[in-house]
């Protein structure tokens, strides 16, 4: 291992008692109480038609890291970069630790770690601008956007997700180390959902406004999921990939808390307790379809005209997006890392966001402060390199 090598070269190993045994030497590790270990050892694997981390079960911890390519990075350097990334991803997600990982113990319990890689407009242009789909560009500006320049765009995106923040932090550091000669970090966004084990697997997440968030969402098992989310052969080098729109949305929780419960429920059109639509009985399941035609005896709509779900709902089935958001809460600010996947943001995310930008009572308490669009690369098989179809 490189770490031991450095120690030996400096002659410190023996003097400082540095561990120099070969990796996987059978050292027994720290003492551990007996008992079932529910998921630390879970490795999801990274190979397939699609990259892991998009339809795999939503993990508890999420980190998006964006990089800007160094000016001198050309096609040859990108090929090397993707080869290094591929090896790192294979090692880190399997728990085997990549080559020259000085802390392989931190990679040994991946806790369902996935690493998903996307590219921004600048990276594709470095290869050949003619290969860049029209949607791979900054989104059109929306009236209510307040982008502050701290979490926008990027040439390369690495999305790490795991049920334990320790292997996630380690993986992010290993990738960062190996990417440094190709790219500089631009921004990081750290997010979370409920801890694994706090709710039955498959429970819809709650956001920091307390709402059940993610109920009406295309499911991977549905017939039209592929045509909504995964790019096909027409997309050339992106076949098997997808488009990610990531928006950093700040929440004003102090003023939100001042609204009474009925007001908060009417803002969304759903109940806080169980996520059921206001048009269904109070104890209805969150999956009961919302009835947008339902009216009160007064004639007013049960789901108000300004309610978030009425404005976000698409009549056109091809306009839907696959949402996979996470919460953030740092530096005295809370909000949502709103992430959605689709074939074409200009036909899917943008018309929905235009409606919300125009009218959505939720806007009183949320502000979009960051925005990025990335092409999530197609998946890869063992022996293949991530991004090969782009570089070829
Ligand atoms: C539905 C919250 C931003 C698109 C919902 C629901 C909640 C919610 C609680 C109802 C449950 C569900 O189906 O998931 C929020 C919050 C946001 C936010 C707190 C900002 C902080 C957005 C944005 C978009 C969006 C930016 C897309 C442009 C949708 C869609 C639905 C939905 C498509 C389902 C509508 C339907 O019933 O057909 N959101 N949302 N949301 N949201 Fe949002």
Whether residue 223 lies in the annotated active site: no
Strands 333-342 and 326-330, by their bridges, are antiparallel
Nearest CA residue ID for atom 39, ligand 1: 213
pLDDT of residue 223: 96
Q: How far is the CA of 109 from the centre of ligand 1 (A)?
A: 34
Q: How far is the CA of 309 from the centre of ligand 1 (A)?
A: 6
**Coil/strand/helix, residue 268:** helix
Distance CA 104, CA 100 (A): 9
Residue 236, helix vs strand vs coil? helix
Q: What is the pLDDT of residue 28?
A: 60
pLDDT value, residue 289: 98
Q: Which entry of 88, 152, 163, 213 is annotated as an active-site residue?
A: 213
Q: How far apart are CA 355 and CA 359, in angstroms?
A: 6
Distance CA 116, CA 132 (A): 19
- Report the alpha-carbon distance of residue 217 to residue 322 in Å, rounded: 6
Assign 3-state DSSP to the chain and report helix, strand, coil percentages, each to 5: 30, 20, 50
How far apart are the C-alpha atoms of 138 and 286, rounded to whole Å? 34
Ligand 1 atom with the shortest distance to the CA of 269: 10
Q: What ipTM does this complex have?
A: 0.99
> Per the confidence metrics, is the pTM higher than 0.90?
yes
pLDDT mean by block of 10 residues, the chain; 392 residues: 38 37 50 86 96 96 98 97 97 92 94 98 97 98 98 98 98 97 98 96 96 97 97 98 98 97 98 98 98 97 98 97 98 97 98 98 98 98 97 88
The CB of 215 under 6 Å from ligand 1? The reply is yes
């Amino acid at each position: 291992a490189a770490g031991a090598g450095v120690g030996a070269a400096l002659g410190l190993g023996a003097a400082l008692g540095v561990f120099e045994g070969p990796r996987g030497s059978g050292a027994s590790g720290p003492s551990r109480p007996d008992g079932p270990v529910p998921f630390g050892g879970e490795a999801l694997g990274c190979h397939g038609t699609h990259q892991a981390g998009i339809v795999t079960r939503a993990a508890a911890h999420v980190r998006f890291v964006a990089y800007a390519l160094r000016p001198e990075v050309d096609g040859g350097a990108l090929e090397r970069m993707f080869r290094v990334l591929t090896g790192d991803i294979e090692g880190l997600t399997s728990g085997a630790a990549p080559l020259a990982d000085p802390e392989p113990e931190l990679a040994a319990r991946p806790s369902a770690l996935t690493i998903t890689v996307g590219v921004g407009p600048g990276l594709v242009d470095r290869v050949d601008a003619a290969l860049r789909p029209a949607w791979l560009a900054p989104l059109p500006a929306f009236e209510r956007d307040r982008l502050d320049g701290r979490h926008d765009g990027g040439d390369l995106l690495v999305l790490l997700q795991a049920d334990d923040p320790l292997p996630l932090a380690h993986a992010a550091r290993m990738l960062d180390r190996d990417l440094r000669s190709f790219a500089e970090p631009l921004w990081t966004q750290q997010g979370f959902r409920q801890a694994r084990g706090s709710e039955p697997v498959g429970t819809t997440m709650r956001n920091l406004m307390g709402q059940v968030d993610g109920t009406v969402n295309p499911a991977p098992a549905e017939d039209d999921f592929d045509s909504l989310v995964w790019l096909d052969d027409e997309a050339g080098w992106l076949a098997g990939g997808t488009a990610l729109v990531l928006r950093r949305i700040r929440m004003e929780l102090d003023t939100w808390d001042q609204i009474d419960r009925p007001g908060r429920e009417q803002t969304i059109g759903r109940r806080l307790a169980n996520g059921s639509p206001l048009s269904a009985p109070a104890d209805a399941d969150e999956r009961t379809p919302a009835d947008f035609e339902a009216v009160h005896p007064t004639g007013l709509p049960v789901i108000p005209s300004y309610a978030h779900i009425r404005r976000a709902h698409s009549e056109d089935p091809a306009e839907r997006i696959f949402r996979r958001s996470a919460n953030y809460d740092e530096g005295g600010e809370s909000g949502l890392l709103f992430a959605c996947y689709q074939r074409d943001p200009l036909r899917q995310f943008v018309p929905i966001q235009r409606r919300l930008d125009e009218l959505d009572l939720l806007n009183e308490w949320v502000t979009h402060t960051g925005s990025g669009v990335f092409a999530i690369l197609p998946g890869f098989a063992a022996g293949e390199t991530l991004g090969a179809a782009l570089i070829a």
